[in-house]
């Protein structure tokens, strides 16, 4: 199976089987993002790579966010526990 690449994917091309997480570079707060919720707020044509520019830490308000993006292929690797975490 071929997965969309981060540079070209839109929110409409990915679902919650993908793992998309944000980590605050200032306070280190981490959260898994719900792609379904992002799609509802930003629309299915919104570029996935642009989501980071919209993020702000809920704990400290910082916009210094680091993003992790994994495809469903990673769900069978040592990253498998991440895919079992509920999206917020």
pLDDT over 70, % of the chain: 83
Unique residue bearing structure tokens 């690449």: 5
What letter would DSSP give residue 49?
A: G
Contact criterion met (CB below 8 Å) for 23 and 30: yes
Q: What are 49-74's pLDDT values in tens digits?
A: 899 899 999 999 999 999 888 878 87
In the predicted model, what is the mean pLDDT of the chain? Answer: 84
Compare 29 and 6 and report the one with higher pLDDT.
29
Alpha helices in the chain (DSSP H): 35-42, 80-84
CA distances from 51 to 27, 38, 66, 75, 76 (A): 20, 8, 11, 22, 26
Token output for 74: 């990673």
Indicate the pTM of the whole model: 0.70
Q: What are 1-26's pLDDT values in tens digits?
A: 565 565 678 999 887 787 888 999 99
């Amino acid at each position: 199976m071929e997965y969309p690449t981060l540079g070209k994917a839109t929110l409409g091309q990915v679902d919650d089987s993908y793992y998309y997480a944000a980590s605050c570079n200032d306070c280190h707060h981490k959260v898994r993002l719900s792609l379904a919720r992002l799609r509802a707020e930003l629309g299915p044509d919104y570029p996935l790579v642009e989501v980071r520019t919209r993020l702000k830490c809920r704990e400290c308000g910082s916009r210094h966010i680091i993003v992790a993006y994994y495809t469903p292929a990673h769900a069978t690797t040592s990253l498998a526990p991440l895919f079992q975490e509920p999206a917020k």
